[in-house]
Amino acid sequence: MADSTNLQLPYLSGAMSQKHVAVNESLRRLDALVCLAIEDKDLTAPPGSPADGVRYIPKAAATGLWSGKEGYVAHYVDGAWEFYTPREGFLAYVADEDAFYVFDGAAWNALETGGGGGGDVVGPASATDEALVRFDGTTGKLVKNSGATLDDSGNLSASNLSGTNTGDQTIALTGDVSGTGTGSFAATIADDAVSNAKAADMGAWTVKLRNAGTSGDPTDATLGDLTAEEAPVSGDFLLGFLGTGEIRKFDIGDLPGGGGADLDTLPGFFAYKTAQSDDATGDSTEVDIVCDATERNTGGNYSTSTGLYTADRNAMHEFFATIRFNGITSSHNYAFAYLLRSDGVLFTGVFYNAYQAAAQGVTLVVACATRMYLTAGQTVKVVAQVSGGSKVVDVAGDTASRRTYFSGGLTTG
């Protein structure tokens, strides 16, 4: 065997001449590799005036005399560079970093010092104050910064803290879990996670509810609160069950009898035409009767510009209408008036033999009335027509007699 296994030191043989040459070569190699202290490992070119005996580890993309020797131990001795191939396990002290590096067979890696109860763990130079440490998943050795910090008071913060709990965890909350905006904390409670036992610490005969028309914390309602008698007012409501078992809210004002609500507060109106509409029908033209003035319009549900009444809730309503026609002739054979709901359903169609009903052949008053159920948002209007002749029949209107009018609203019974 010509050389030693680890440091490649030449062996002496019995017949070797000039044995001092082999001995000196071994001493030179030992001087270069034993107690390996590196000046710098981040240079790509040799320094300008190196001292005799200095050692470097050339960085990747090395140039000049170091070209192709990246990661080697470069030893400057007797005015020339000598290069030694590192072996796995070589330990080197890098003077300019005051740190140790170990060769893992492929690259030089920082050797973390400390631990064992004495000394500090040394992290990278870019370490963030109070950052929680994590280890490199590839090498399992490098201590790196994490995105989370933990201060001396135990406050944990992170820009994006998330994850999945795969086992039972116990967290004791001594205050409210709250937060708003950026950096807030949100806790999601799974369905059925709160049992009756968790709400067991309640006063005797109390119910948890929000007894106000605004958002906020629930309060305790006692049995006395629930059984106290008080006259209902508009806006009160009851909770009840449908036949399907679903819970529904029922407004007091929508119940039969109005639930004690003041009738003056229920939606209702009386509207009338103030001027005559000339030549409006007579040839079967259907006319929307628009009453342009109101004597009462509680709730503002009737529009004097469109002639439409709009329901603001689901409830029974009742309506009355009278239309006066002028100018009917012997050629006109019938008059017709009805109430039309927005879904196309027609109510209270009233027919008259137009000419016979007009006492003097010129005037006819048609009246209609009905009760109907409206859902919130549905509309109702009055429609009338005269047919059989020419379009010469007028729809009367005046402020004194108000013979053409439309009235109605929410019924209380």
Specify the domain boundaries for CATH 2.60.120.40 within the chain.
266-410
The CATH number of domain 266-410, selected from 3.30.429.10, 3.40.50.150, 3.30.1120.10, 2.60.120.40: 2.60.120.40
Higher pLDDT pick, 249 / 410: 410
Whether residue 235 has pLDDT greater than 80: no
Strand partners, 247: 241
Question: Six-digit token pair at 253?
Answer: 């004002």
pLDDT winner (highest mean) among 86-90, 154-158, 204-208, 259-263 = 86-90
- Structure confidence at residue 126 (pLDDT): 67
Whether residue 72 has pLDDT greater than 90: yes
- Structure confidence at residue 115 (pLDDT): 47
pLDDT band at 47 (very low <50, low <70, confident <90, very high): very high
Lowest mean pLDDT segment, chosen from 42-51, 147-156, 351-360: 351-360
Cβ atoms < 10 Å from Cβ of 186 = 8
Question: Six-digit token pair at 140?
Answer: 């399992």
Instruction: Give the closest residue to 81 by CA, choosing from 57, 61, 105.
Output: 57
Average pLDDT over residues 54-78: 93
How far apart, in Å, are the Cα atoms of 103 and each of 31, 37, 114, 277? 19, 14, 19, 104
Residues 235, 262 contacting (CB under 8 angstroms):
no
Strand partners, 309: 302, 380
Q: What are phi and psi of 381, to 5 degrees?
A: -140, 165
- Structure confidence at residue 202 (pLDDT): 72
Average pLDDT over residues 45-60: 93
pLDDT band at 140 (very low <50, low <70, confident <90, very high): low
- Structure confidence at residue 343 (pLDDT): 93
pLDDT tens digits, 81-131 = 999 899 999 999 999 999 999 999 999 999 865 544 444 556 666 677 777
Instruction: Give the closest residue to 72 by CA, choosing from 371, 119, 81.
Output: 81
Average pLDDT over residues 243-266: 64
Rounded distance, CA 327 to CA 259, Å? 47
Rounded distance, CA 214 to CA 211, Å? 9
